[in-house]
Amino acid sequence: MPMSSAWAGREASSEHDLRAFYALYLRTMRRRSTLPRPYRQLREDRRLLGPSGAFRLFVAEHEGDIVAAGVYHALGDGVDLLYNGSDDSRLDVRPNHALYWHVIEWAAAAGYAHMDFGHARPGSSLAGFKAQWSAREVPEYRYDYVPGAAGGVAASPRASVGRALEGRARQGRLERVWQHLPLSLTRLAAGVAHRYL
């Protein structure tokens, strides 16, 4: 899928690039009704893992504008997508296709054997997008440690050990409201929630 000369994919490293990514990421998380990670977490991730080459930020530019970006971890023989953001007003020019194409080319040239495309709700448009790159769905497990619970394990079925994560098929009232909140409030909510979670 060669891109036209209007496209450029590149690895990014500047504070400006990280902030551009975060602006796209906030909008994407709001669109997906998901609590974003705080900016300070991403900045610390880059500070701590960047020198070893594990932290990677890639951007896709169209006509000089950053229209998609992603944070990846390159560890062992694989590259894992952690966070992704794209400009929803420019989806017609396929920014995520350009981003994924560039990252896949980079990973192959760097000798990585596999790529983890991250979580997607089964049957969602995001799962369909990832499947077109030959990504296959694999179980994802979550283990909760609850201080004070018997053996540190949560007793309630909602927080059971080793359960496969399941996406919700329908949007509730909170998800519908979340999609209309100002980005400054979603960013504030992220900072507060991740401080205590």
Give the total number of structural domains in the chain.
Answer: 2
pLDDT digits (tens, 9 = 90+) for 55-83: 999 999 999 999 999 999 999 999 999 99
Q: Based on the fold, state whether residues 27 and 90 are members of the same structural domain.
A: yes
- The CATH code of the domain that includes 79 is 3.40.630.30
> Is 191 inside any structural domain?
no
Q: Based on the fold, state whether residues 100 and 130 are members of the same structural domain.
A: yes
pLDDT digits (tens, 9 = 90+) for 35-59: 889 999 999 999 999 999 999 999 9
Q: Residue 148 sits in which domain range?
A: 139-169
Q: Based on the fold, state whether residues 84 and 160 are members of the same structural domain.
A: no
Q: Based on the fold, state whether residues 88 and 115 are members of the same structural domain.
A: yes
> Is 185 inside any structural domain?
no
> Residues 6 or more apart from 81 whose CB is under 8 A from it?
70, 71, 72, 103, 115, 116, 117, 118
Q: Which residue has the tokens 């209007």?
A: 6
pLDDT digits (tens, 9 = 90+) for 109-145: 999 999 999 888 888 888 899 999 988 888 877 777 7
Q: What is the mean pLDDT of the chain?
A: 82
User: Can you say how many angstroms the Cα of residue 127 is from the centroid of all Cα atoms in its chain?
Assistant: 13
pTM for this prediction: 0.75
Q: Based on the fold, state whether residues 145 and 63 are members of the same structural domain.
A: no
Q: Based on the fold, state whether residues 122 and 165 are members of the same structural domain.
A: no
Q: Based on the fold, state whether residues 155 and 133 are members of the same structural domain.
A: no
Q: Based on the fold, state whether residues 10 and 107 are members of the same structural domain.
A: yes
Q: Cβ distance 145 to 152 under 8 Å?
A: yes
Query: Which 3-state string (H, E, C) describes the chain?
Result: CCCCCCEEEEEECCHHHHHHHHHHHHHHHHHCCCCCCCHHHHHHHHHHHCCCCCEEEEEEEECCEEEEEEEEEEECCEEEEEEEEECHHHHHHCHHHHHHHHHHHHHHHCCCCEEECCCCCCCCHHHHHHHCCCCCCCCCEECCECCCCHHHECCCHHHCCCEECCCCCCCCHHHHHHCCCCHHHHHHHHHHHHHHC
Q: Based on the fold, state whether residues 47 and 101 are members of the same structural domain.
A: yes
CB atoms within 10 A of CB 107: 19
> Is 82 inside any structural domain?
yes
> Is 182 inside any structural domain?
no
Q: Based on the fold, state whether residues 41 and 55 are members of the same structural domain.
A: yes
d(Cα 26, Cα 35) in Å, to the nearest integer? 9
Q: Based on the fold, state whether residues 102 and 164 are members of the same structural domain.
A: no
